[in-house]
């Protein structure tokens, strides 16, 4: 155990002192924020006003097409419309709308965007619908006054009879973020272990280390060291995110007392809204479960990644072994959306029990509420699977780490498993 601790300490200190770790720790929260905010901002900013030409005598309800911030409609004579079809590049029009009875055609010299076509379709559908209602003698004002909006408040009844607010949107958001983070961390730190093993093997440093410690101790020390690096980086990301949010709030806060009081009132309302959104979600359980599934999932996958790293001489040779390992993880990532739509279904249940997919899928399901026995079963199977995969990986690692110049196959790996210590 002492030797595992020494290897863990060395692995941890070497990695946290690297410039790449420091840069990613500082830049990581900013990159995550940019990935979430920038695409939305650019999508909004890239929306420009489109001039749509309409043949003047093509449709009796042309005047009812309304301009908005993205579309501007202009009626043009039929002769000009014919000329426009022959030369869009010389005009300021984005597209020409040709209407003949109930047939609508958009002409343009480029691929028409979905936002433009959908915007025009929605307006035309509404115009035709209103016209048909008028023809049937239905008063539109009565119809519009009859339209109602229903907001259903959902409540969760606990075993002791107490009720709490339930918000599917908040559950989906928390589940999605937790699932993505688990997927990303397992992949990132698992491959970090594999690369570290390959580097030590190719540089022959491992031959010196093995003379002092057992291969299994070296593997576990390396895996646990990188796990501690991951936890450190995760905690620092949380602290930096809170620090950035606090600094941003202080910079944009007005110094006047009235504004301060207003901000305090707004913050109180915001906190109450957040509390109502997350009222039916056990945040403590989710946080503890996140740490467990991150560590257990990482330890299980990283032991397999370490075994792969020991079986090859170069990173280019890892693909044949890495793909079968990562398929369950990729599958769980693909199934995040379907699982969120039906978190209590049969697929969701089994995917949260199978150890290779449970770290991601169980974190997606937890905000929606999971029975204690399901969570306990998933945890127990994941721990058992980690012990089993570590045992398998250790037997491959002890042989492969000193094997050079020979490309290992699955048949060869099976032989390594049967070697006696």
Continuous segment of H or E residues that includes residue 126 = helix 114-135
The CATH number for 98's domain is 3.40.190.10
Among 235, 227, 195, which Cα is nearest to 4's? Answer: 227
Q: What pLDDT score was predicted for residue 252? A: 57
- The model's pLDDT over 369-417, given as tens digits with 9 standing for 90+, comes to 888 899 999 999 999 998 898 888 888 887 777 777 677 777 777 877 7
In terms of domains, do 209 and 297 share one?
yes
CA 328 to CA 337: how far, in whole Å? 16
| Residues in the chain, pLDDT under 70 | 36, 40-47, 56-63, 88-90, 153-167, 245, 248-249, 251-280, 405, 420-421
9 belongs to a structural domain:
no
Out of 83, 111, 145, a domain closes at 145
Question: What is the DSSP secondary structure assignment for residue 47, as one 8-state letter?
Answer: -
Rg (CA), the chain: 30
In terms of domains, do 87 and 173 share one?
no
Q: What pLDDT score was predicted for residue 257? A: 42
Phi, psi for residue 153 in degrees, rounded to 5: -90, 120
CA atoms within 13 A on the CB side of 120: 24
In terms of domains, do 273 and 413 share one?
yes
In terms of domains, do 212 and 83 share one?
no
How remote is the C-alpha of 364 from its chain's centroid? Answer: 11
In terms of domains, do 54 and 198 share one?
no
Q: What pLDDT score was predicted for residue 164? A: 60
In terms of domains, do 122 and 174 share one?
no
CA 224 to CA 11: how far, in whole Å? 9
Among 7, 93, 101, which Cα is nearest to 52's? Answer: 93
In terms of domains, do 325 and 387 share one?
yes
Q: What pLDDT score was predicted for residue 357? A: 92
- 170 contacts 367 by C-beta, under 8 angstroms: yes
Q: What pLDDT score was predicted for residue 125? A: 84
Q: What pLDDT score was predicted for residue 254? A: 45
17 belongs to a structural domain:
no
116 belongs to a structural domain:
yes
C-alpha distances in Å from residue 3, one per residue of 17, 44, 196, 298: 21, 56, 18, 22
- How does strand 163-166 pair with strand 154-157? antiparallel
In terms of domains, do 268 and 392 share one?
yes
C-alpha distances in Å from residue 37, one per residue of 31, 244, 278: 10, 15, 23
DSSP assignment string, 221-232: HHHHHHHHHHHH
In terms of domains, do 122 and 209 share one?
no
216 belongs to a structural domain:
yes
Q: What pLDDT score was predicted for residue 161? A: 63
Among 14, 2, 6, 3, which Cα is nearest to 226's? Answer: 14
Retrieve residue 161's tokens. Answer: 């009879």
In terms of domains, do 78 and 214 share one?
no
Give the count of domains, the chain. 2
Name the pTM for this structure. 0.70
In terms of domains, do 187 and 304 share one?
yes
Q: What pLDDT score was predicted for residue 89? A: 66
In terms of domains, do 253 and 333 share one?
yes
Q: What pLDDT score was predicted for residue 37? A: 72
Q: Domain limits at 291?
A: 168-418
**Three-class secondary structure of residue 184 per DSSP:** helix
322 belongs to a structural domain:
yes
Among 16, 38, 18, 19, which Cα is nearest to 236's? Answer: 16
C-alpha distances in Å from residue 263, one per residue of 67, 244, 247, 251, 276: 37, 18, 15, 13, 20
């Amino acid at each position: 155990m002492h030797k595992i601790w020494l290897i863990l300490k060395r692995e941890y200190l070497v990695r946290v002192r690297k410039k790449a770790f420091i840069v990613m720790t500082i830049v990581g929260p900013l990159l995550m924020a940019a990935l979430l905010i920038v695409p939305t901002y650019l999508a909004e900013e890239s929306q420009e006003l489109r001039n749509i030409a309409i043949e003047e005598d093509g449709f009796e309800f042309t005047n009812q097409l309304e301009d908005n911030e993205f579309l501007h409609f202009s009626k043009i004579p039929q002769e000009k419309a014919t000329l426009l079809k022959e030369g869009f590049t010389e005009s300021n029009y984005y597209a020409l709308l040709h209407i003949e009875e109930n047939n609508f055609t958009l002409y343009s010299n480029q691929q028409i965007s979905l936002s433009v076509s959908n915007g025009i379709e929605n307006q035309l559908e509404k115009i035709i619908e209103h016209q048909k209602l008028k023809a049937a003698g239905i008063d539109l004002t009565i119809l519009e006054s009859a339209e109602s909006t229903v907001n259903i408040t959902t409540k969760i009844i606990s075993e002791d009879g107490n009720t709490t607010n339930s918000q599917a949107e908040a559950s989906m958001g928390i589940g999605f973020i937790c699932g993505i983070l688990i997927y990303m961390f397992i992949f990132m730190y698992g491959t970090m272990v594999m690369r570290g093993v390959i580097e030590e093997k190719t540089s022959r440093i491992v031959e010196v280390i093995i003379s002092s410690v057992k291969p299994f101790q070296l593997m576990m020390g390396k895996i646990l060291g990188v796990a501690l690096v991951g936890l450190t980086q995760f905690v620092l990301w949380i602290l930096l995110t809170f620090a950035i949010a606090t600094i941003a709030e202080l910079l944009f806060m007005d110094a006047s007392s009235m504004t301060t009081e207003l901000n305090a009132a707004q913050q109180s309302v915001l906190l109450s809204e957040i509390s109502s959104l997350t009222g039916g979600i056990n945040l403590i359980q989710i946080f503890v479960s996140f740490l467990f599934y991150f560590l257990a999932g990482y330890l299980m996958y990283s032991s397999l990644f370490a075994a792969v790293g020991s079986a090859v001489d170069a990173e280019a040779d890892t693909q044949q072994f890495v793909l079968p390992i990562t398929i369950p993880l990729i599958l769980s990532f693909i199934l995040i959306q379907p699982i969120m739509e039906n978190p209590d279904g049969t697929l969701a249940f089994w995917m949260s029990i199978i150890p290779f997919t449970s770290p991601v899928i169980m974190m997606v399901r937890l905000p929606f509420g999971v029975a204690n026995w399901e969570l306990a079963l998933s945890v127990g199977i994941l721990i058992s699977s980690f012990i089993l995969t570590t045992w398998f990986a250790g037997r491959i690692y002890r042989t492969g780490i000193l094997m050079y110049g020979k490309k290992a196959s699955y048949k060869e790996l099976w032989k390594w498993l049967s070697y006696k210590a």
